[in-house]
Structure 1
Amino acid sequence: MQESATRIGIGDFAHACGVTPRTIRFYEERGLLPSQDRKERMNRSYSADLVKRVERIQQLQSLLGWSLEDIRQVLVLEDQVATLRQQYYQTDSLQDRYHVLQEAIDLTTEQLQRVNQRMKGLVKLQKDLEDKLAFYQTLRDDKKFSSARDGAEQ
């Protein structure tokens, strides 16, 4: 993860991320954000680049419903891939670049397998809900409910 030279305090950082300072501290405690150095009067200071990381955490949590541990694992893999990207560009050796690419492929494959497992679970949940809905609609549309249905329409 590349650090920006601009450093901001926790309040401004939290505001830029659209979360509270408590959320930032919580993410640090859970290992989702790196612990920040405290300088001058023991205040934390944050790289402006970390805003994207918080946005990524929020995306994985709200849109996909992932647990914080799952998110932490994804972020660790993304950090490893970012490190590999730097290694790739720091060497001119084709053999070294090949090995870096293979490691990136392995890490990305691992992450893709996790996503596929989640998707299988979501597809199963969707199918179960569709089956329940069809069952309830079939019961509701049964002839014995016709008088109740006619009364509901009046």
Structure 2
Amino acid sequence: MNKFKIDDAARETGLTKRTIRYYEELGLIKEPERTDGGTRLYSEDDIERLKKVVLAKDILGFSLQELQDFVKLREKIQHHREDYRNSSDTSKRREELEHIAAGLSEQIFMIDKKMERMQDFRNEISQLQDKAAQLLKE
């Protein structure tokens, strides 16, 4: 598996090195491996996770708190997958799945609200553009 230094991770994700370290501090990404000299080494999975964080932040407009909630939910799902395979307690599995489903519903609701606000803003800009075009015709 390939390992990337922070410069490479920054280039691949479009983030600054400082931002990557900050996201690590916040727990948005796990602490990467380090060389004996302390150089961070990111895996391909780390790079993909950073790209997903960038997508959630830039495209969906997630705040840092929303990003943390998003990451925690993803980790919970991953952890649940591992526990699900090893657990025979169906009531516990069901309870955990219900909790995950509720978290996913919250995420979808939040995204839908953001999309509504973006559509409203787009409509407002479009109306202003139409008004400007009308004024230019006069």
TM-score (norm 1): 0.70
- Structure 1 residues 66 and 95, CA, compared in 2 at 3 Å: closer, same or farther? closer
For the aligned residue pairs, the C-alpha RMSD in angstroms reads: 2.7
Q: Quote the offset at 1:22 in angstroms.
A: 3.7
TM-score (norm 2): 0.77
Q: Quote the offset at 1:18 in angstroms.
A: 4.1
The worse-fitting range, judged by mean Cα deviation, of 33-42 and 129-138 is 33-42
After superposition, give the CA deviation of every residue in 1:56-95 in whole Å (9 maximum; x if it has no partner). Answer: 0122233334343432322222112222222222213322
* Alpha carbons 2:6, 2:40 under 8 Å: kept: no
Q: Which runs of 5+ in 2 are unaligned?
A: none
The corresponding residue for 1:63 is: 59
Higher Cα Rg, which structure: 1
| Code of the aligned partner of 1:17 | E
Q: Please list, as runs of the form range in 1=range in 2, the aligned pairs for 1:1-154 lying within 5 A after superposition.
A: 6=1, 8=3, 10-11=5-6, 14=9, 17-19=12-14, 21-36=17-32, 38=34, 40-141=36-137, 145=138
| Code of the aligned partner of 2:110 | R
Q: Quote the offset at 1:121 in angstroms.
A: 1.0
Q: Quote the offset at 1:128 in angstroms.
A: 0.9
Q: Quote the offset at 1:122 in angstroms.
A: 0.6
- Structure 1 residues 74 and 9, CA, compared in 2 at 3 Å: closer, same or farther? same
The corresponding residue for 1:148 is: none
In 2, the alpha carbon distance for the partners of 1:8 and 1:78 equals 23
Q: Quote the offset at 1:111 in angstroms.
A: 0.9
Q: Which runs of 5+ in 1 are unaligned?
A: 1-5, 146-154
Report how many residues are paired: 137
| Code of the aligned partner of 2:90 | L
Taking every aligned residue pair, what percent have the same amino acid on both sides?
Answer: 23
Q: Secondary structure of 1:32's match?
A: coil
Q: Quote the offset at 1:38 in angstroms.
A: 4.3
Q: Quote the offset at 1:12 in angstroms.
A: 7.0
- Structure 1 residues 95 and 73, CA, compared in 2 at 3 Å: closer, same or farther? closer
